[in-house]
Amino acid sequence: MNDKEISERLNPESIMQVFANRIEAELERHQMAVKLDKHLADLEKLVSERTASLERSNQSLSDFAFIASHDLQEPLRKVNILGGMLKSLNKGLNDKSLDCIERMQNATVRMQSYIDDLLMFSRLTAEDSHFVKTDCNKIIKEILLDLEAKINESRGTIHVDKFPEIEADPFQIRQLFLNLISNALKYRKEDVAPVVYISSQINNDGNMDIKVEDNGIGFDEKYKDRIFLLFQRLHGKSSYEGTGIGLSICKRIVDHHHGFITVNSSPGEGAVFRVVLPAKQNRLSAKS
């Protein structure tokens, strides 16, 4: 660099221009930072308001379901008892009357199932999860014993892999597997014995990957998101009993465990439910 170039670079006007450009750039950066901070603050406020609103809505729904379900229990029990008393007087009743009583009692049984499931759903909404070290093998074994009559009636076969221990809420995990296994037994093909495979593995990311596969009737995958909504059914009540709450309960349980649940299926080809749960939760209950 020659003397002339050095002189030009050290020119006061050039130096002032450099400073002016730097100051202008810093002012623009500061203004952008202020705008960004404001946008972030507005976004945080909006998220906070929406979260609070959602929590209030969930709590209101939970409170309503809990109160309504409890208030319905006693009159429903009385209707069932009165129906039984009427049936005991069958000498004075014709076949049509007895059939009406039978239908009434069946309706009360279905209503009781709705209430029980609604109470379970509201309980999951209202309560915190209590994460402890959980033996899924023991839980599934107990469920299969509870479902022994249904399994034998359907001539079903359940294949279960050995599960690793995870950190979870044992009560909720029991409800999760109970609903998934019951579903697999319920939605079976006519004159085809259900076969259910329950498998698990720990992925590289530390999550437990669970699959419940069946050879049942399956469904069109365009409804795959709808089936996890409350009171949603893809098959007629006359063909398959149930309340349409079971998979909603599964979804709520999986959400509580910071995981996700998906399903793949096609009509006549069975279904594969996949549940991914953290093998270790961020916090454990004091119970552990």
- pLDDT of res. 125: 60
Listed range (57-61, 138-142, 201-205) with the worst mean pLDDT:
57-61
Distant-in-sequence, close-in-space partners of 68: CB < 8 Å, separation ≥ 6:
118
Residue 112: which of 147, 75, 149, 142 has the closest Cα? 75
Res. 173: pLDDT tops 80: yes
Residue 185: Cβ within 10 Å count: 18
Residue 208: which of 126, 101, 134, 150 has the closest Cα? 134
Res. 228: pLDDT tops 70: yes
Q: Does 267 reside within a domain?
A: yes
- DSSP string covering 160-173: EPPPPPEEE-HHHH
Please, where are the H alpha helices in the chain?
A: 3-9, 12-88, 95-126, 136-146, 148-154, 170-186, 246-256
Domain that residue 171 falls in = 132-278
> Based on the structure, what is the number of domains in the chain?
2
Identity of residue 17? Q
Q: Are residues 136 and 248 both part of a single domain?
A: yes
Q: Does 47 reside within a domain?
A: yes
76/109 Cα distance (integer angstroms): 9
Per-residue pLDDT, averaged over 208-213, amounts to: 94
Q: Does 148 reside within a domain?
A: yes
Q: Are residues 117 and 151 both part of a single domain?
A: no
Q: Are residues 149 and 166 both part of a single domain?
A: yes
- pLDDT of res. 64: 61
Q: Are residues 149 and 123 both part of a single domain?
A: no
Q: Does 247 reside within a domain?
A: yes
Q: What is the mean pLDDT of the chain?
A: 79
**Position 94 confidence tier, pLDDT thresholds 50, 70, 90:** confident
Q: What is the pLDDT of residues 33-53, one digit of tens each?
A: 778 878 777 787 777 777 666
User: Among residues 127, 162, 192, which one ends one of the domains?
Assistant: 127
Which helix (H) or strand (E) segment holds residue 261: the answer is: strand 260-265
Over pLDDT 70: what percentage of the chain? Answer: 74
Q: Are residues 101 and 149 both part of a single domain?
A: no
Which helix (H) or strand (E) segment holds residue 263: the answer is: strand 260-265
Q: Are residues 108 and 196 both part of a single domain?
A: no
- pLDDT of res. 197: 96
